[in-house]
Structure 1
Amino acid sequence: MSSSLDTPAPAASVSTPFSSKAVDAAPGAASAPKSVPTQAELLAFVRRTAADSELVATLPLDPEGRTWIRLDGPAGSEAWIIAWPPGTGTGWHDHGGSYGAFATAGGALQEDSLAARLPTEGWKTLELAEGVDRERTLTKGDARAFGSHHVHEVRNESDSEHAVSVHAYYPPLPLMRRYSRTGAVLRLEQVERPQEWQ
């Protein structure tokens, strides 16, 4: 395994659809992946990184916008530490076919997700069946992995406390689909590609 599994090395930050403001970090050593990381390896990575209080503390907290640092993830995965000011969130989205994991390093995050596999092409509006909604709260130290068809939104519902989380994706995000939701109706609003956030 690469050394980035043991001590994540911050890499140059770039825009991401999860974030508002980037914090520059020292470039990490680039290495070719030896194998494809498993969900379990991504989950272990985000847990270990979230527990690294010294690394997490390098991310400044902005009261008005999200900040982040991009990291070298295991085996060529894309990874981020993200700070969430009170009341911020992602909106409904997917990860363009990438699987991944995230862990909460501080505060609490609310995740709403769909327990249904959506078609990726050929639709603009879907009516969701009853019973597909899932909710969970992830507090400091909590983590979860997700598959390549995961659709969710993540929010910091606190009105006074920042949340901080660590995310890892493989393959690195090829695109993201953004959705709006009204009741049971999910509507595809936008497809973002990496050049739009890098």
Structure 2
Amino acid sequence: MQPLLDAIRTYADDEDLLARVQVPVTGREFHLLRRDDDVEVWMIVWAPGASTGFHDHGTATTAFTVLQGSLVEHNWLGGLQIADIGPGDARAHAAGHVHDVRNVGSRPAISLHAYAPRLDAMHNYRFLGDRITLIGAEPGRA
């Protein structure tokens, strides 16, 4: 997972990156920064209240960091674990890791996400308090 962390740190140091940002009124806005055979890197802009819902990233390992604002990650590891992620904090997960990432703050948040191999699918889950259940699948972002 270190190559993914290195990839997002490279983009996090790009001072011109935030010039691309347009904050959506609701939800999230996606900016593809890199896609090759080995890795995919996205910048995501989160409106206040935006959430991914519980999901995994198919066969891809993942890493993400927050550039501005803060996010809360709800991780399903056989039980619910919650992590606050602020500017400069980074998280990395193996393929199949299920989580829900949310902007619970009153200000927009900006994050960088890397996937390897490229994001080919996502599986969506419903959180039922003491378990999760698969509710659907979708292809990765094109």
Fold match, TM over 0.5?
Answer: yes
Q: Please tell me the residue identity of whatever aligns with 1:83.
A: V
Q: In 2 relative to 1, CA 75–44 (structure 1 residues): closer, same or farther, beyond 3 Å?
A: farther
Q: Summarize deviations over 1:76-112 as a string: whole Å, max 9, x none.
A: 3111000000000100000112102000010000001
- What is the aligned partner in structure 1 of residue 111 from structure 2? 165
TM-score normalized by the length of structure 2: 0.91
- The residue identity in structure 1 corresponding to 2:25 is P
For the structure 1 residues 64 and 156, does the alpha-carbon distance in structure 2 shift closer, same or farther, using more than 3 Å as the test? same
SS of the aligned residue for 1:69 comes to: strand
Residue in 1 aligned with 2:80?
133
The reply on whether 1:193 has 2:139 as its aligned counterpart is yes
Separation of aligned partners in 2, 1:98 and 1:53 = 28
Query: What's the secondary structure of 2:52's corresponding residue?
Result: coil
Answer yes or no: is the 8 Å Cα contact 1:104–1:142 preserved in 2: yes
Larger radius of gyration between Structure 1 and Structure 2: 1
2:120 alignment partner in structure 1: 174
Q: Can you give the 5+ residue segments of structure 2 that lack an aligned partner in the other structure?
A: none
- Pair 1:65 & 2:11 matched: no
Partner AA of 1:63 in structure 2: V
Once the two structures are TM-superposed, the CA of residue 50 in structure 1 deviates from its matched residue by: 2.3
1:74–1:139 CA distance, 2 compared to 1 (3 A): farther
Q: Which residue of 2 aligns with 1:152?
A: 99
**Gapped regions of structure 1 (runs ≥ 5):** 1-38, 117-131
Map residues 1-198 of structure 1 onto 2, 5 A cutoff. Answer: 39-72=1-34, 76-116=38-78, 132-158=79-105, 160-194=106-140, 197-198=141-142
Task: Provide the TM-score with structure 1 as the length reference.
Answer: 0.67
Q: Please state which structure has a larger fraction of its residues in strand.
A: 2
Q: Size of the alignment, in residue pairs?
A: 142
- Runs of 4+ aligned residues of structure 1 deviating over 3 Å after TM superposition are none
Supply the distance in 2 between the matched residues of 1:105 and 1:75 (Cα, whole angstroms). Answer: 26
Q: Equivalents in 2 of 1:187, 1:91: separation in Å?
A: 12
Instruction: Measure, in 2, the Cα distance between the counterparts of 1:185 and 1:148.
Output: 19
CA-based RMSD of the aligned residues comes to: 1.7
What percentage of residue pairs aligned between the two structures are identical? Answer: 36
**What is the letter of the counterpart of residue 74 of structure 2?**
D
